[in-house]
Chains A and B, each alone.
Chain A
Amino acid sequence: EAGVAQSPRYKIIEKRQSVAFWCNPISGHATLYWYQQILGQGPKLLIQFQNNGVVDDSQLPKDRFSAERLKGVDSTLKIQPAKLEDSAVYLCASRLQNTEAFFGQGTRLTVV
C-alpha cells in the first residue's frame, strides 16, 4: 500500500518569500492533517480536513498560512510571506476515522 507522499523533501527560502508544500494522502483516507514540528518539540496541529472541508484550523496563522484540499484528496499548504520562525518540518498525515494516522516523510523548511 502506498504511504503518504509529500514534496518537496527540503526547501530553503529567504524570509518574506512564498513557499508551497504538497501532500497526497493514503487512498481512501478522508481525514488529512498538516502539522508543524519545530526542532525539539512535538508536532503542532495546523489544520485538519475531513474530505474537502476544514474541521479545525484554530492554530493556523491565517495571516500568512493557507491550506486547501479542493477535491478532497491531495492538499497544499502555503506560507506567504515566510518568517524566520517558520523554519520547521511540515508533516502531513492521513487516517480513517479514529484509527491510527500515517505520516509522510515531511518537508524540512529553512527560512534564512
Chain B
Amino acid sequence: DAKTTQPPSMDCAEGRAANLPCNHSTISGNEYVYWYRQIHSQGPQYIIHGLKNNETNEMASLIITEDRKSSTLILPHATLRDTAVYYCIVRATHNAGNMLTFGGGTRLMVKP
C-alpha cells in the first residue's frame, strides 16, 4: 500500500471547520483513501473513505484532488469531542490481507 504523509499536529477552534491534509503521491489506481481516528484511550474509529470522487457522510467530507495525490478530511463544525489522532490510510481493497497500515497521524486539538 502507498505511503501517506500528514502533519503531526493541528489546532482548530471549536465550531470552525477542521481541514486535515494528507499526501499520498504514490497512490495507485486501485487504492482507496481511508480515514480513521483514535480518541484518547479508545479504539480506532472509521470515518470515511473514497476512491476519486469527493465523499460526504454524517461525520465528515473527503476531498480528493483530481490527480489523487492528496486529499483533505473536513470536519465542518469541530467540537471538543473531535480532539483525536486522525489517520489517513491508503489501501487496496483487493488486498487479501486487508491490513490497515497506520502511520503517525495528525493529532487534532480542538480548542474552546
A and B: bona fide binding partners: no
Please report B residues at the A interface, Cβ cutoff 8 Å: none
Give the B-binding residues of A (Cβ under 8 A): none
